[in-house]
Amino acid sequence: MNKPVALITGGSRGIGYGCALHLADAGFDIAIGDVRPETDCSEALDTLRARGANVLYAICDISDGQQRAALIARIRETFGRLNVLVNNAGVAPKERNDILQATEASFDFVMSINLKGSYFMTQAAANWMIEQYQADPQFAGCIINISSISSTVVSVNRGEYCISKAGVSMATQLWAMRLAEYGLQVYEIRPGVIATDMTAGVKAKYDAIIANGGIPLRRWGTPDDIARAVTSLARGDLPYSTGQVILVDGGMTTQRL
């Protein structure tokens, strides 16, 4: 029971599951909060357990405060500690609409999960991490926000998504400054074009961008690419940094002439 514990929201597939796999390999026990029925994730969870991790799976819509609190309570009961929070859960708009036609309902849906949900999940985890630090000054805690290059790169047909991720970027800075006195590090990982369910519907668009050199490394990113960065931060490989943005985008957002 001395292994560190990592909570990954949206950790049953895609980037979140890639993070869970790498963190399990790095010696973490894993808690996953997700909205999918546990029976739909049984094979993925069994794989994590086969890698040596104790695994807790809990249904949690992070936009709901009661469900966030219940998730934290389950982790307390099961593991008694939390060392790492990976705020990965996120959604795209159900329909891509020009900002001249986008609806308030779509805005509220995206913001409630991507920004409000991750912000208050951080609050809940951070207060518990502070409690652990006060009980043991050797406690090491880390919060990692998965945002997107859309926090700075404009897509006028999904403005609510861009705004939500820009908010995550500012939240990272805010939490990094507030939690530094407790030795708790906060980071933002900013993925580029990653092959997941979210990008499957626009594959042809990004294939063309890659073919035309829009991504200097000339390939799609993978959940594994993001997970490697997450694991490095979770292990404490950058002990004298906080509030930093880690770009994992194949060079896509690098300014060029």
pLDDT of amino acid 1:
61
Query: Model's pTM, two decimal places?
Result: 0.96
Q: What are the structural domains of the chain?
A: 5-248 (3.40.50.720)
Angle at which helix 14-25 crosses helix 223-235, to 10 degrees, equals 40
**71-94 pLDDT tens trace:** 999 999 999 999 999 999 999 999
pLDDT of amino acid 128:
98
- Confirm whether 133 is a catalytic residue: no
Mean pLDDT of 59-79: 98
Q: Compute the mean pLDDT over every residue in the chain, rounded to the nearest whole number.
A: 96
Q: What percentage of the chain reaches a pLDDT higher than 90? A: 95
pLDDT of amino acid 135:
97
pLDDT of amino acid 199:
84
pLDDT of amino acid 2:
86
The one catalytic residue among 119, 161, 187, 206 = 161
pLDDT of amino acid 211:
94
Residue 45 gets the label, from left (phi > 0), alpha (psi -120 to 50) or beta, of alpha
Mean pLDDT of 162-183: 98
Reported for 235-238, long-range contacts at CB under 8 A and 24+ positions apart, including other chains, are 235/26, 236/140, 236/142, 236/185, 238/185
**95-125 pLDDT tens trace:** 999 999 999 999 999 999 999 999 999 999 9
pLDDT at residue 257 is higher than 90: no
